[in-house]
Amino acid sequence: MDGRVATAPVSLGAPPDPVDFEERRLIAAALRGDQRAFAALYRRHVGAIYALCLRLTGRRDRAEDAVQETFLAAWRALRTFQTRSRLRTWLHRIAVNVVLQAARPQAARLELNEGAVGPLPELSTPDSSPPIDVEAAIALLPDGARRVLVLVSLYGYTHEEAATVLGIAVGTSKTQLHRARALLSVRLGLEMP
């Protein structure tokens, strides 16, 4: 023995999110009915919520409607917000629910197709035309595949969380993610890993 002590690396984990005191102040004011404070919260989060809604719906008009509905629902339910949570996470959950609620009338007609993967739709093969951007390719995905891809790959949900939010089985979530990746690789002319 050479006198050195073997130690295992110590992991302190990710540092906690810093407390946003201004946001906490705005939330408290909004809880008291201050519409200007809520408008400031809206301005802070509208971009992220719009991006989420656009990715989930694939259409600007639907995304804009979903953003409006999200913030209306948030204003109505603000008193239920648990201040120990992050407002952004709470708003994301409302936005996902709003998008899914808007899609429910269509869901009855698409229910059989959502859970089953089936053959992949024909997409044009890469050629000499200019490449499309990833956001456009995501928007072209079938609803189920797009939703799982957005939640799991872009927003970091687990398959269990995505399945719960979307009302599907965990296995369906995994299958839809595989389907989304396969379709994107074909559309973007990439090779699957």
* 158: CATH: 1.10.10.10
Is 82 found in the same domain as 138? no
Is 101 found in the same domain as 28? yes
Residue 13 lies in a domain: no
* pLDDT for the residue 84: 78
Is 159 found in the same domain as 93? no
Is 80 found in the same domain as 25? yes
| Count of domains observed in the chain | 2
- pLDDT tens sequence across 101-124: 887 765 444 443 444 334 434 444
Is 95 found in the same domain as 39? yes
Is 131 found in the same domain as 96? no
Is 95 found in the same domain as 27? yes
The secondary element (H helix, E strand) that includes residue 162 is: helix 159-166
* pLDDT for the residue 105: 62
CATH number, residue 39: 1.10.1740.10
* pLDDT for the residue 186: 86
Average pLDDT of each block of 10 consecutive residues along the chain (193 residues)? 50 56 93 94 95 91 94 93 86 92 61 40 45 76 91 90 90 93 84 56
- pLDDT tens sequence across 74-100: 999 999 998 778 899 899 999 999 998
Is 135 found in the same domain as 64? no
Residue span of the structural domain in which 75 resides: 21-106
Burial of residue 15 (number of CB atoms within 10 Å: 0-12, 13-18, 19+): exposed
Is 29 found in the same domain as 79? yes
Cα Rg, the chain, nearest whole Å: 21
Q: Which of 106, 133, 148 is the last residue of a domain?
A: 106
Residue 113 lies in a domain: no
Residue 10 lies in a domain: no
Is 77 found in the same domain as 45? yes
* pLDDT for the residue 4: 55
Kindly give the interhelix angle for 170-188 and 159-166, rounded to the nearest 10 degrees. Answer: 100
Is 90 found in the same domain as 46? yes
Residue 25 lies in a domain: yes
* pLDDT for the residue 184: 86
Is 98 found in the same domain as 161? no
C-alpha triplet 83, 88, 93: angle, nearest 5°: 95
Residue 8 lies in a domain: no
Q: Which of 75, 106, 137 is the last residue of a domain?
A: 106
Integer CA distances (angstroms), 38 to 19, 27, 62, in order: 18, 7, 23
Residue 192 lies in a domain: yes
